[in-house]
Chains A and B, each alone.
Chain A
Amino acid sequence: MVTSTAIQLEPTGTPREEVESVVVRFAGDSGDGMQLTGSQFTLATALAGNDLATFPDFPAEIRAPIGTTFGVSAFQINFGARKIATAGDAPDVLVAMNPAALKVNLGEVKTGGTIIIDTGTFTARNLKKAGFDTDPLEDDSLDGFQVLTMDISKLTTEAVKEHGVSNKEALRSKNMWTLGLIYWLYDRDREPTVNYLRTKFAKLPNIAEANIAAMNAGHIFGETAELPGDMRGFTVRQADIAPGLYRAVTGSEALAWGLAAGTKLADLRLVLASYPITPASNLLHILAGMKQFDVVTFQAEDEIAAVCAAIGASFAGSLGLTTSSGPGVALKGEAIGLAIGAELPLIVVNVQRAGPSTGMPTKTEQSDLFQAVYGRNADAPLVVLAASSPANCFEIGIEAVRLATKYMTPVMLLSDGYMSNASEPWLIPDFNDYEPFPVKFATPDLAGDEGFLPFSRDDETLARPWAPPGTPGLQHRIGGIEREDGTGNISYDADNHQRMTDLRAAKIRGIAKDIPLQGVEQGNKTGKLAVVGWGSTYGPISRAVGNMRDQGYDVSHVHLHHIWPLPSNLGDLLAGFEQVLVPEMNNGQLVTVLRAEYLVPAEPMNKVNGQPFKISEIEDAIENHLDGTSGEAK
């Protein structure tokens, strides 16, 4: 374990320029190790005491043809001395490891931003592969940017020469050379990366030392080389962050841990049955490594088998969990209906991606809200929750377990590809602070004179008793055919079906009494404009609303975590605003639900290009809705 204390480093060498926040994007070929570079820079930045947010953006192809634009992998980090809400709109610094990376990312870079280029890859062949007709280093493509060119390939090869690695292996250290340069640029500590490399390559010490040498060479290059213009190193001061023990966490990690933690609070075994699918597979990988936590994982033969095995596990007294993405959830629909009818706990995680059909598996979207709330045959209500950030996944995971077990119901938990892969610093909670909610299985004394009634109900929650096989005297049969109220026996009685349909709906609706009232993240509880979000749009909405409020606009941020049932006060809350704006990475789903439920004139704001919202996009929308009428707030 690496436990370090963030310390304010004294500027070294030439005086450094102080900046409040910076966005850096590392971009290269998918084999160039950009994700690793990004994650190491993230750790070093966290250790330097900055707040941060990251956005990994990688291609669907595992190893796309080298040098092509569709093989470009990027990692963006936004860090600063202030609270960081998103991975940043436009990079201040772009590292382009080859022409394709430049081609794909140039349009995003902030005007006047810095572009660091490995000229060693700018060969005629690579330029052609990237689709450049002329060499951008020679023409006016890069006018208006501060361009830093060097032959990183050659510099790296020279730096690692003494470690006796092959030329191919040497070139694989290019990312570390670049990381070293960026470490110098922002005055980051190299030691954690040194430790990381020595651990990762413990069995290949010459590879570890070559990578370290490359990183050090990049750092020295920054210190000694004469950089163009007035370019010099920067200082980013520590952010004002709540004290405590931190770690970086991705949404996948936090969700897997939250689900395991919740299951522990419920005093159950967790059985995860899943089928590999991007971008949800990480949940299976992480939980497969947690067997010591009474977690059983099962890679099923398909999506349907996965959800069915999870339901079977719940029937047998464990908590059944299945994890997937939209297309997989579509396949699970019939079985989820069975879990609703049989009233068994079940958690279905949907790590959303761009669709429909296969869509863009590695690109993010939040377009499965309708699927989650309505996407089954017949009247089939369940609970829908949505996490809002990587760290929030931990809390939502626990909440999903609580509701599924307390109300004997499936819970659909929505994450997305962005949240799943992005990481953020997390003030690690103390698990002892969480109130346990142990499940109470039905006991043999429940079998009264008329026998055990598996479809009797708790007066308050309307939940039915959970009597797993193995419990003496409570043998019962359940199934997908309509169940008679009380006994659960097959029933085709018309009145009974009406009653059971009503009960299933009332049970889910009643959960609104057991979830927090909807609050306002920022701003007043009534006013001119409420920006209502859900899911991973939290970051950009939060920063945009904050910025606009600083400018005097009367705007509030409302963010939903409970999508179904909706919080009981939400209708009244929204009625208190003149306008309601709903930014979503879909074509207008929550906005339709809100309009249907509350008859509020909520307006959509939609984006489905596979990228998260930019802060500026939401700021512009707020300004348009308020006609530039700032200064009337408060």
Chain B
Amino acid sequence: MNAPAKPTALKAKDFASDQEVRWCPGCGDYAILKGVQKALADIGTAPENVVFISGIGCSSRFPYYMSTYGFHTIHGRAPAFATGVKLANPEMDVWLVTGDGDGLSIGGNHMLHALRRNVNMQIMLFNNEIYGLTKGQYSPTSKQGTRSPSTPMGSIDRPLSPVLFALGANASFVARAVDTQQKHMPGILQRAHAHQGASFVEIYTNCIVYNDGAFSSFAEKSTAADGELVLEHGQPMIFGQDRDKGIRMKPGAIELEVVQLGVDGVTEADLLCHDETNRVLAGLLGAMHNPEFPVAVGVLYCEDAEAYDTAVYQQVDAARAADGVADINTLLRSGATWTVGD
């Protein structure tokens, strides 16, 4: 493929396609679309080298609204299609768009393996804790007791946590963002893009029709300061309207606790500093829930690990170096042959 010179500074709107966006008015997906377009403009990548791949669900309409290459595939399988794209052409910049049902229910297996293989791509999981496109059934991330058309008496199954799933799958990059927090999200997406390997970003997304307000305890302007902990590598974990609360290891236990700065002699020095390279810490942070804890957003975990597609082509190159001829006629004549005379 010819990679043309980088075009003169594209703007976010240059990444929008001519298609009319058809999510419900007020859907969190609009904000994410805007955030992604801004992130791509900031990254400065050429649209022809970008591929958006999605499965099925509200979020999976995403590729149609981008001016890049796009493939809206089948339910749950987007990670496998994306892996195929990277196997064919590792130069492509692949972004995967999925939801909590698509990525963690019907497609949980593919998500698991894309993460553990560390295929070099960005995986954006729009978590609205509900099935939107099929009209409101509960999802694998719905809180227990969710009343939905399929669970009129409340859901009984225990929900899973997308970031804990990703960490358990041995993902090399795990982050969290919130749809409406436009100052925060594009930066996280840029980090995800810069990471070599499978970058998993859970994006809390408000479904205005079927699950409105699911994240209101931390995702809104009025609640974010107290409900959210914004992680920064190397920085102490401080949060709260007055920046007076923090997270520390509970003495004598392997668990976190919220502490009030200045109370009982607690100072900033007692707080945990975020270490993105600590998988155990990432697990503890990922498991924090309102109201006992703030919800952690930002990069929970990031480690250097070889990307799958890079390793695949190292083997291809090694095989070529060992047998530069690769001639079909030689192949057909390899092994035992015999001649029948005239």
Interface residues of A (CB under 8 A from B): 1-6, 43, 46-47, 49, 192, 241-248, 257, 260-261, 264, 269, 271, 273, 290-294, 296, 298, 300-302, 304-306, 308-318, 320, 334-335, 338, 342, 428-432, 468-481, 489-490
Contacts and interface: CB of A to CB of B under 8 A. Distances in A.
B109 interface: yes
Given A273-B84, A301-B109, A312-B85, 7 more contacts: A1-B333, A3-B338, A248-B336, A293-B331, A312-B73, A316-B85, A480-B74
A2 B339 CA distance: 11
Contacts of B334: 1
A532 B72 CA distance: 42
12 contacts: A3-B337, A243-B340, A298-B83, A301-B112, A301-B113, A305-B109, A308-B73, A315-B81, A320-B88, A471-B1, A477-B52, A478-B70
Interface string B218-238: 000000000000000000000
Given A477-B70, A478-B71, A244 B339 contact: yes
B160 interface: no
Given A292-B323, A308-B81, A313-B88, A475 B71 contact: no
Given A4-B338, A257-B328, A271 B87 contact: yes
A314 to B, nearest CB: 8
**Main DSSP-derived SS at the B contact region:** mixed
Q: Which 5 A-B pairs have the closest CB atoms?
A: A312-B84, A479-B72, A470-B1, A309-B84, A308-B80
A302 B109 contact: yes
Interface stretch (B185-193, B200-208, B287-295, B311-319): B311-319
Contact of A5 (B63, B82, B316, B338): B338
A250 to B, nearest CB: 11
B17 interface: yes
Contacts of A248: 336
Contacts of A472: 2, 4, 46, 48
Contacts of B81: 308-309, 311-312, 315
A246 B70 contact: no
Contact of B88 (A312, A335, A475): A312
B130 to A, nearest CB: 22
A290 B319 CA distance: 8
A302 B79 CA distance: 12
A491 to B, nearest CB: 11
A490 B64 contact: yes
A296 B87 contact: yes
B135 interface: no
Interface in B284-342: 312, 315-316, 318-320, 322-324, 326-329, 331-342
B110 interface: yes
B171 interface: no
Contacts of B67: 475
B337 A1 contact: yes
Interface in B76-127: 77, 79-85, 87-89, 91-92, 109-110, 112-113
Interface of B: 1-4, 17, 19, 46-53, 56, 63-64, 66-74, 77, 79-85, 87-89, 91-92, 109-110, 112-113, 312, 315-316, 318-320, 322-324, 326-329, 331-342
Contacts of A468: 1, 88-89
B89 A316 contact: yes
Nearest to B17: A477
Contacts of B92: 316, 469-470
A480 B73 contact: yes
A479 B17 CA distance: 15
A497 B326 CA distance: 45
Contact of A477 (B72, B74, B323, B329): B72
A451 to B, nearest CB: 8
B320 to A, nearest CB: 5
A477 B69 CA distance: 6
A47 B341 CA distance: 12
A428 B87 CA distance: 32
B71 A1 contact: no
A312 B110 CA distance: 14
B53 A296 contact: no
Most chain A beta-carbon contacts within 10 A, residue among B49, B315, B331? B331
A300 B110 CA distance: 9
B87 A313 contact: yes
Contacts of A316: 51, 84-85, 88-89, 92
Most chain B beta-carbon contacts within 10 A, residue among A300, A306, A316, A317? A316
Contacts of A481: 72
Given A243-B342, A469-B92, A431 B328 contact: yes
B252 to A, nearest CB: 42
Contacts of A342: 71
Most chain A beta-carbon contacts within 10 A, residue among B17, B84, B89, B342? B84
A177 B77 CA distance: 53
A271 B84 contact: yes
Contact of A470 (B48, B332, B342): B48
Given A2-B336, A312-B85, A470-B89, A431 B72 contact: no
Given A292-B322, A312-B81, A312-B83, A269 B88 contact: yes
Nearest to B4: A472
Nearest to B72: A479
Most chain B beta-carbon contacts within 10 A, residue among A310, A342, A472? A472
Contacts of A241: 340
A161 B315 CA distance: 45
B340 A313 contact: no
A293 B2 CA distance: 23
Nearest to B54: A479
Contacts of A430: 329
Given A6-B338, A273-B87, A470 B109 contact: no
Contacts of B77: 304-305, 308, 335
Nearest to A429: B332
Contacts of B342: 243
A301 B110 contact: yes
Contacts of A320: 84, 88
A489 B19 contact: yes
A43 B328 contact: no
Contacts of A269: 88
B69 A2 contact: no
A481 B83 CA distance: 21
Contacts of B79: 305
A215 to B, nearest CB: 17
A246 B333 CA distance: 8
Contacts of A242: 340
Contact of B83 (A43, A309, A474): A309
B134 to A, nearest CB: 15
Contacts of A432: 329
B87 A334 contact: no
Contacts of A469: 1, 48-51, 69, 85, 89, 92
Nearest to A261: B328
Contacts of A476: 69-70
A290 B325 CA distance: 12
A300 B83 CA distance: 10
A337 to B, nearest CB: 8
A318 B70 contact: no
A469 B88 CA distance: 11
Contacts of B1: 317, 468-471
B48 A479 contact: no
Contacts of A49: 340
A314 B87 CA distance: 10
B46 A246 contact: no
A187 B341 CA distance: 20
A334 B89 CA distance: 24
Nearest to B315: A291
Most chain B beta-carbon contacts within 10 A, residue among A292, A293, A301? A292
Most chain A beta-carbon contacts within 10 A, residue among B48, B50, B85? B85
Given A296-B316, A473-B48, A247 B68 contact: no
A249 B288 CA distance: 61
A264 B315 CA distance: 20
